[in-house]
Amino acid sequence: MKLVYLLLALSLLACNQNSDNTTTQDAQTDSADVETITEPAAPSADSTNYSNERFRDVTVRKVGEHTYQIQGQAQVFEAAFSWVVEDGHNELKQGHQMTSAGAPAWAPFDFTVEVQKQEPNSTLMLILYEASANDGSRQHQLPVKLE
C-alpha cells in the first residue's frame, strides 16, 4: 500500500513539474507572439490625403490659378463616379469620371478641374461620390478641400 502511495505522489509531482514547464513555455511563447499595436499618426493640418469606403489616397494639387489635379483610387460600380464643386452655397461645377476597372477592384483615377471662387471668402469643396443605381442619389460622398 505504501508503494501505491509513493507511486501516486511521484506521478502527481511529475505532472506538476511538467505543468510548470508548459506554463513557462506558454508565457515565453505568448510574449514573443504579442504584437505592439499603435494608433496611426493623425494627419497633419496641411495634409491633402482623403479616403472613405469607396475612395482612397485622394490628393489635390493646384496646377494653375484656378486649376486643380485630383488623383486617387476608387472602388466603384462599373468604374464610374461623379463629382461636384461647391462653395458652401452653390454648385459651381459638376462632372463624371471613369477608373480603369470597376468594383471590387481598386482602380486609379486622375483628372483636372478648373473652377473659380464666386466669393473671395468662400471655401471650394470637391465632393466625390457614387451615384445610386436606384435613384441617382449621392452615395459614399467624400468631401475634398480645394481652396
Neighbours of 52 (CB within 10 A): 13
pLDDT band at 49 (very low <50, low <70, confident <90, very high): confident
Q: What is the pLDDT of residues 116-130, one digit of tens each?
A: 999 888 999 999 999
Neighbours of 34 (CB within 10 A): 8
Average pLDDT over residues 25-37: 44
Cβ atoms of 144 and 70 within 8 Å: the answer is: yes
Cell of 99: 477608373
Task: Give the residue, 97 or 30, on which the prediction is more confident.
Answer: 97
Residue 136 has pLDDT above 50, yes or no: yes
DSSP annotation of 42 = P
CATH of domain 55-145: 2.60.40.10
Residue 32 has pLDDT above 50, yes or no: no
Average pLDDT over residues 55-78: 95
pLDDT the model gives residue 3: 65
| Entry pTM | 0.66
Q: What residue segments make up the domains of the chain, in order of their start?
A: 1-36, 55-145
